Amino acid sequence: MTEIKIILEGEHEKEVQDKDSKLALIYKRSCSNVYFIKGEKNIIFDTGNRYVKEKLVKALEENNINPDEVDYVIQSHWHLDHCSNIHLFKNAKIVSGKRFIWFPDGGAEKYRKTEDMDIAGVKIINTEGHVQSHISALVEIDGENHIISGDAIRKDYMEEGFFKNEEAKETAIKILKIADVIYPGHGKVIQKEKIKKLLEMAQS
């Protein structure tokens, strides 16, 4: 059975610049969550920031994951807090936006549609808005849609009524409508009741 595990929880150090707004802040250090999808293939989703490299290596060891045996790294987008340890997975095919799978030998395969990218047990979905070329991963487990969303879902922003742009809002609504469980780029896993509340917020 396919399983999704949080290998490394993101870390954040921030300074609030405006005490009247939770969003007016500067991140001194920011690192995304790192996820492992165990199924037909070994898949890492996002690799975190460079300053957590040693923690990530230790976490992989503790979970009996050999970086050389990871088949794919799905890169939600290329912000440094999400992608800086990609070099650890030397034999992995890199999946990124604009419908590319990059091969370890330097080659690449391009797909007409994001949803056509061929990864066993995982459906790649286009979730632009936070940035262009942003992608997320949908994994069906026991008949439920589990979505690893990267920064397409930011619970902290959504609770403040903030969206980067209209496309980001539409993308968030798309995910919230189909997801039973969401694994965000930052923060805790989001379950059904919270998903319903976030959808109501986003649509209001």
Give the bridge partners for 126, in sequence order: 135
What is the C-alpha separation between 172 and 203, in angstroms, rounded? Answer: 10
CB 180 within 8 A of CB 192: yes
Averaged over 35-56, what is the pLDDT? 96
For the cut 80, the answer to whether the pLDDT of residue 143 exceeds it is yes
- Read off the pLDDT of residues 77-125 as tens digits, 9 standing for 90 and up: 999 999 999 999 999 999 999 999 999 999 999 999 999 998 989 999 9
Band of residue 161 on the pLDDT scale cut at 50, 70, 90 = confident
Q: What integer best gives the mean pLDDT of the chain?
A: 92
Output the CA–CA distances (angstroms, integers) from residue 4 to 59, 74, 200, in the order listed: 15, 13, 27
Residues 6+ apart with CB under 8 A from 188: none
Q: Which range (15-29, 111-125, 132-146) has the least confidence?
A: 15-29
Tokens at residue 168, please?
């980001």
* DSSP states along 19-73: TT-TT-EEEEEE---EEEEESSSEEEE--B-GGGHHHHHHHHHHTT--GGG--EE
What is the C-alpha separation between 95 and 131, in angstroms, rounded? Answer: 16
For the cut 70, the answer to whether the pLDDT of residue 23 exceeds it is no
25 or 33, higher pLDDT:
33
Band of residue 18 on the pLDDT scale cut at 50, 70, 90 = low
CB 98 within 8 A of CB 124: no
CB neighbour class for 122 (10 Å; exposed up to 12, middle 13-18, buried from 19): buried
pLDDT over 70, % of the chain: 93
pLDDT over 90, % of the chain: 81
Q: In what order do the strands lie in the sheet with 144-150?
A: 123-126, 135-141, 144-150, 181-184
